[in-house]
Structure 1
Amino acid sequence: MGLTLPLSLLPHVADIEPFKGHGAYGPVYEPPIVGEPCLIDDERRMVRDDEGTEVVSDTTIFFRPGTRCPAGSRITAYGRQMIAITSFDRNGGRLPTPDHVEVVCR
C-alpha cells in the first residue's frame, strides 16, 4: 500500500456534486459531498478531456485517495463554481509517493 497525501497538505475544502448524467433540463448531479479536504492550485494549462479534445484548465484540485469526482462534476470552493474536465487516480503502488486524486477544472 502506498502513502496517502497527508491532511496537513490539504488546507482547503471543496464541495463536490458528482456528475450523474444528462436529464431533460441539463446535467444531473448526485447529492453533494460537503467539506472535502483538498489543495487548490490555480494554474492555467492545456489538458485533454475524456474525449481527447484539448481544453484549457484554470484550476487543479488534489483530493485524498478514493474521492469520487468524475468528469462533469460540479465543484464549489471559495464561493466559485468549477466543472471537472477529467480526474486522475494517482496511485504509486509500492513506490513511496503520496496517493491522491487529481482533478483538472474549468
Structure 2
Amino acid sequence: MVRVPDALLRHRVTVEPYLGDTAYGPTYGPPVPNVRALVAATVRQVRRASDGREVVSTAQVITAPGLTCPPGSRVTLPDGRVTTAIATAEHTAPGLPVPACTEVSCE
C-alpha cells in the first residue's frame, strides 16, 4: 500500500484522542504533538459519526494512515485554533497507484 508522501504533509497538528465522557466531562488521551498533516481550511458539509446529522466542517486534516483520532477528539491546527473532530475516514485503494491516508473533518 502506498502512503501519502511526507513531502505533501507540510503542516503540524496536535491530536488529543477522545476517550469518553465521565461525570466531570469529556476525557482525552495524552496529546500526540507534531503530527504531519495537510490542512485545508474550507467549509463543507459532513455527516457527524455519532448521530448521522449533517454538520459544517471548517477544516479538513489529511495525515498518514493509521492516525488515532476518533470523533470528539481535540485537534490543534497550525494556526493555534483548537477544534473538535467530527468524523474520521481511512482512505485506501488496494492495487491502485493512489496514496492511502486518514482524513479528519473538524468543526
TM-score by length of 1: 0.96
> Which residue is 1:68 aligned to?
68
> Which residue is 2:2 aligned to?
3
Q: Give the total of aligned pairs.
A: 105
> Quick one: distance in 2 between partners of 1:94 and 1:69?
26
Do structure 1's residue 43 and structure 2's residue 58 form an aligned pair?
Answer: no
> Quick one: distance in 1 between partners of 2:80 and 2:70?
21
Runs of 4+ in 1 over 3 A off after TM superposition: none
Structure 2 unmatched ranges of 5 or more: none
Residue 93 of structure 1: CA displacement?
1.3
> Quick one: distance in 1 between partners of 2:17 and 2:93?
25
Residue 20 of structure 1: CA displacement?
0.2
Structure 1 unmatched ranges of 5 or more: none
1:1-106 matched pairs, under 5 angstroms: 2-50=1-49, 51-77=51-77, 78-106=79-107
Residue 71 of structure 1: CA displacement?
0.4
Secondary structure of 1:8's match? helix
From the two aligned structures, give the one with the greater strand fraction.
1
TM-score by length of 2: 0.95
Residue 97 of structure 1: CA displacement?
0.8
1:101 partner amino acid = T
